[in-house]
Structure 1
Amino acid sequence: MTSTPLVGIVGGTGPAGTGLALRFAAGGVTVLLGSRDPARAATTANDLNTMHSLLTPITGVSNEAACNADIVVLATSADAIVETAAALREQLAGRITVCMANLLKRSKRSFEAVLPPEGSVARAVQAAAPEANVVAAYQNLPAAALADLDRELRADVLICGDDAEAVSSVLALTSTIAGLDPIDAGALANAAGVEALTAILLNVNRTLHGEFSVRLVDLHGRAPSR
């Protein structure tokens, strides 16, 4: 996929979906913002277009229509994402489908990762929509930081998937967001580690009184070849 892809965001009216939509549109990517309620999606898209100077406008559509894209991002919450993927399995067949969800719980001491029986939320999505090309990405990015276009992003994005071409497409898409450096982190099985890392980051945020994401450093001090 060499040209700028059309991106659909399922469940796109929540914080994660709107944040990603803004960043993609600011980078010149055409976005279909999906919702179970198309009217709500249209209103949200209009608000985003009015409030921000974007290179391309965001269009509000139904979740089903959002699947008519080159790359589909599932931005629904972790507790609903598998059900959503199953409901849209026909529309997602053959599509690059990005899972950005983390399943977490909070104990008295800290946030903890919860991994479903399939091994990760991304693998559970793949099981629910077996003909989709599922790629895991964006789990470690704070929604508030994505939504604030005045904030400079500085983070690596670990991307996992079994289909090399699908991963390559998501790497290229991620490169359209200023300040994000995408990294191929291997097979979809590795998404378990990336999802669990979000719980660690939330705990670090609390310990160090900041907002942290992922940035990999070469121990020999060499500049990474990205």
Structure 2
Amino acid sequence: MKKIAIIGGTGPEGRGLGLRFAIAGHNVIIGSRTQERAEQAALEISSITPDLNITGSNNEDAANSSDVVILSVPFEGLRPVAETIEPLTKGKLIVSIIAPLSFSEGQMKALNVPEGSAGELTSILFPQSLVASAFQNLSARDLLNPSLKLNGDVAICSNSDTGLNEVVGLVSDIPDLRPLNAGSLSNSRYVEELTALLINMNKIHKTHTTIQFLGI
């Protein structure tokens, strides 16, 4: 089992993934800019399912003490958080679950990222780490309901075979999710942008959609 830091883990998506990884037996550290917020989030997650190995810490300590670092910050917070934790993550797996989005004119829209995608920007900001992009298309509400089967595919983008294989293992630890190799980080933009479509479809159909790739 791994020690997994979820940076910016006090938000719904980070807490949801933290819950699922802790249920799978991993040691989860919820990271936040403040220790107090991180510890409160860890307590809230533990109240959903007791006896989990989950704690809260500031982002720097969480990144420093972990094997895997999951970035769950808003897109605009990616550069600032990288400045503080990048020196602590050399050789570690960094997983961006970030989908750069904005809400305007009544719908969710994908932001234009000059570097191509949040995944590609993460690779630039963490040059000494193994970088992958995954988990953007999962519903936070579904993740936070441990009695619910997720039943979906997780597209994983990475320029590193080692990083890809590590994320495949993490996805496989969550029942009913299927990890899929989605190619290099240059494909991450399409996975990230798909999140906007899913959110808009959720609003139209009043449900929580997920993705499945047929024929693979």
2:197 corresponds to which of 193, 200, 207: 200
The residue number in structure 1 matching 2:112 is 115
TM-score, with normalisation over the residues of structure 1? Answer: 0.89
Alpha-carbon contact 1:115-1:121 (below 8 Å) kept: no
Distance 1:64 1:204 in 2: 37
Per the TM alignment, residue 128 of structure 1 is displaced from its structure 2 partner at its CA by 1.9
- In 2, distance between residues paired with 1:105 and 1:40? 25
1:116-171 CA-to-partner distances (Å, cap 9, x unmatched) read 10000111122222222211011111111111112221110000000100110011
Q: Percent of aligned pairs with the same residue?
A: 33
State the one-letter code of the partner of 1:65. Answer: D
Matched, 1:79 2:76: yes
Q: 1:88 aligns with which of 85, 89, 95?
A: 85
- TM superposition shift of 1:109: 5.7
- Is 1:70–2:67 an aligned residue pair? yes
Aligned counterpart, 1:24: 21
SS in structure 2 at match of 1:145:
helix
TM-score (norm 2): 0.93
RMSD over aligned Cα, in angstroms?
1.6
CA contact (8 A) 2:60 2:84 kept: no
Q: Give distance in 2, aligned partners of 1:134 and 1:74.
A: 11
2:96–2:132 contact (8 Å) kept in structure 1: yes
Q: Give 1:106 shift.
A: 2.7
**Superposed displacement of residue 111, structure 1:** 2.2
Q: 1:29 to 1:207 in 2, by over 3 A?
A: same
Unaligned runs of 5+ in 1: 219-223
| Alpha-carbon distance in structure 2 between the residues aligned to 1:86 and 1:187 | 24
Query: Quick one: distance in 2 between partners of 1:48 and 1:205?
Result: 25
Aligned match of 2:139 = 142
Max radius of gyration: which structure? 1
* Unpaired stretches in structure 2, ≥5 consecutive residues: none
C-alpha displacement at 1:188, in angstroms?
Answer: 0.8
